[in-house]
Amino acid sequence: MAEKSAEQQLFAMRHSLAHIMATAIQELYPKAKFGVGPVVENGFYYDVDLPAKLGEEDLAKIEAKMREVIKADYPFEHSTMKLDEAMKYFKDKDQTYKLDLLGDLKQHGTTVAKDIDRSQLGVGDGAKVEEVGIYTDGPFTDLCRGPHVASTGQVGAFKLMRVSGAYWRGNENNAQLQRVYGVGFTTEKELDEHLAMLEEAAKRDHRKLGKELDLFVSSPLIGGGLPLFTPRGTVIREELNELSQSFRLDRGYQRVAIPHMAKLDAYRVSGHFEKFPELLRFTSTESGDEFALKPVNCPHHTQIYASRPRSYRDLPVKYLETTMVYRDEKSGELGGLSRVRAITQDDSHVFCREDQVPTIFAELVEDAQKIYRILGLKLSLRLSFRDDSDSWLGDPEAWGRAQAALLRLAKEFKLEHVVAEGEAAIYGPKMDFMATDALGRQWQLATVQLDYAMPQRFELEYIDAEGKVQRPVMVHCAFLGSLERVMSILIEHYAGAFPLWMAPEQVRLAPVNDTAELAEFTEGLRQTLVKVGLRVGVDTSAESVGKKIRAAGVAKVPYTLVLGEKERESGQVSPRLRQGHGNFEGSLKVEELVAVLQREVAERRGTSAL
Cite the active site residues.
Answer: 298, 327, 345, 347, 349, 430, 476
The Cα–Cα gap between 43 and 155 comes to: 12
Of 213, 420, 245, 436, nearest in space to 348 by CA: 245
For residue 55, count CB atoms less than 10 angstroms from its CB and return exposed for 0-12, middle for 13-18, buried for 19 or more. Answer: exposed
| 323: enclosing H helix or E strand | strand 317-326
Of 28, 40, 13, 33, nearest in space to 64 by CA: 28
Instruction: Provide the strand spans (E) within 50-144.
Output: 77-82, 131-137, 140-143
Neighbouring CB atoms inside 10 A of 598's CB total 15
Torsion sign across C-alpha atoms 142, 148, 154, 157: negative
DSSP state of 329: -
Whether 132 and 141 have beta carbons less than 8 Å apart is answered as no
The Cα–Cα gap between 168 and 142 comes to: 17
Whether residue 51 is preceded by a cis peptide bond, meaning omega within 30 degrees of 0, is no
What φ, ψ does residue 379 adopt, rounded to 5°?
-105, 145
Angle value at C-alpha 244, between 345 and 202, nearest 5 degrees: 70
Torsion sign across C-alpha atoms 219, 222, 226, 228: negative
Q: Is 181 helix (H, G, I), strand (E, B) or coil?
A: strand
| 508: enclosing H helix or E strand | strand 507-511
HEC string for 341-358: CEEEEEEEEEEECHHHHH
The Cα–Cα gap between 210 and 214 comes to: 6
